[in-house]
Homo-oligomer: A and B are copies of this chain.
Amino acid sequence: MPRPAEPDLDAAFFALSDPTRRSILESLGGREAGVAELARPYDMSAPAISKHLRVLEQAGLITRRIEGRQHFLRVNPDQLQQAQLWIERQRAFWEGSFDRLAEHLERVTAQTSPPPAKSAKSTKHRKP
């Protein structure tokens, strides 16, 4: 079986391949943010941002909560972890062999469910 066919990884890595989308994820951090707030730093129309958010959402990298007329986005740990695990597996494979692979997997999967949003005090953002 040449290609195991993992469309989730396709979408996740593709979403991560755009600097705007990565930047959105970065600025999202652990907290929740509205669309306008996320869009502010970018010299780009609202529909463009909307599309980027849809790509991220359909890749499973963020989730959306709609409250009235506002949409709140949040990073989804699980999907990002899938991408990380793929790379981690590769690296462990050619770099350290199996003991290290086991070690890696154990370590990474150990911190799957996020602790209830600890220090969300860094809600300050910089303008361009």
A residues lining the B interface (CB < 8 Å): 1-7, 9-14, 16-20, 22-23, 25-26, 28-31, 41-43, 75, 77, 80-81, 83-84, 86-88, 90-91, 93-97, 99-100, 107, 111, 114-115, 118-119, 122, 125, 128
Task: Evaluate whether A10 and B2 lie within 8 angstroms (CB atoms) in the complex, with A90-B75, A122-B97 already known.
Answer: no
Q: Please state if B95 and A114 are interface contacts (CB–CB under 8 Å).
A: yes
Q: What chain B residues lie within 8 Å of A23 (beta carbons)?
A: 2-4
Q: Please state if A2 and B115 are interface contacts (CB–CB under 8 Å).
A: no
With beta carbons under 8 angstroms apart, the residue of B10, B94, B115, B125 that contacts A17 is B10
Q: State the copy count for this chain.
A: 2
Output the nearest chain B residue to A20 by Cβ-Cβ distance: B3
* A96 CB, min distance to chain B CBs, angstroms: 6
